Amino acid sequence: MKNIALWLVGGIIVIGSIATIIIFTNKGANVTNVETGKTVKVKTDGNELASVNACDILTPDIAKSILGDTAERGNIQTTQATTKEVTVSDCVYTTKIDPGGKVSISNKKGANVLVRSAISSAGAKTNKDQFGSLKPTGVQEVSGFGDSAYYSPEFGQLNILKGNNWYIITNYSGTINGTLEADKQLASKLVLK
């Protein structure tokens, strides 16, 4: 039930906020306004920041290695939302636990990567604060991933800070939230930027 609510809330936030498409390069980020078509380069305090598309991180090959050959992109399509501080990108793959079984949330396995990419110094600070002064209570510190990482047992999510970007990783089965071990298995296959 928590997974459904989390997916719905995440989907509403992402879909409701879509205003621009972010195109990234090795030398910084270009922000293109969908309505005007105008593109500008994003730089902050001499540090170039770039947006990351979650489906560039969670590829079909990685999803199949975690979920099996029947993994397919989930109903929530690759989306990106942008504010002046961050872009939010989400990528979901699912597969049936029992291929002959009824289609329901209890018969699904899934892998999900949500990325909050900082495109301003304020966005970078907000992301970093989630691993410092604003870190939730009741989380478990995790080493070996990014610059900082913690696991939220409440939501079954592995949260990783890499550079200025915040990655939220979930590898779940049926109505059971992701476990730390399952989330770490998925995270170990990802190349975080």
Rounded to a whole number, what is the distance in angstroms from the first to the last CA of the chain? Answer: 31
Predicted confidence (pLDDT) per residue in 41-61, tens digit: 444 333 458 888 999 999 999
Residue 172 lies in a domain: yes
When the pLDDT of each residue in the chain is averaged and rounded to a whole number, the result is 77
pLDDT of residue 78: 52
Residue 192 lies in a domain: no
Q: Which helix (H) or strand (E) holds 60?
A: helix 60-67
Domain count of the fold of the chain: 1
- Reply yes or no on whether the pLDDT at 152 is more than 80: yes
* Mean pLDDT, residues 162-189 taken together: 92
For residue 105, the enclosing domain spans 2-187
Tell me the backbone φ, ψ of residue 66, rounded to 5 degrees: -90, -45
**Structure pTM?**
0.72
49-58, 102-111, 161-170, 184-193: segment of lowest average pLDDT: 102-111
* Measured distance CA(92)–CA(122) in Å, rounded: 28
Residue 92 token pair: 């979901």
Residue 193 lies in a domain: no
pLDDT of residue 63: 96
In terms of C-beta density within 10 A (0-12 exposed, 13-18 middle, 19 or more buried), how is residue 37 classed?
exposed
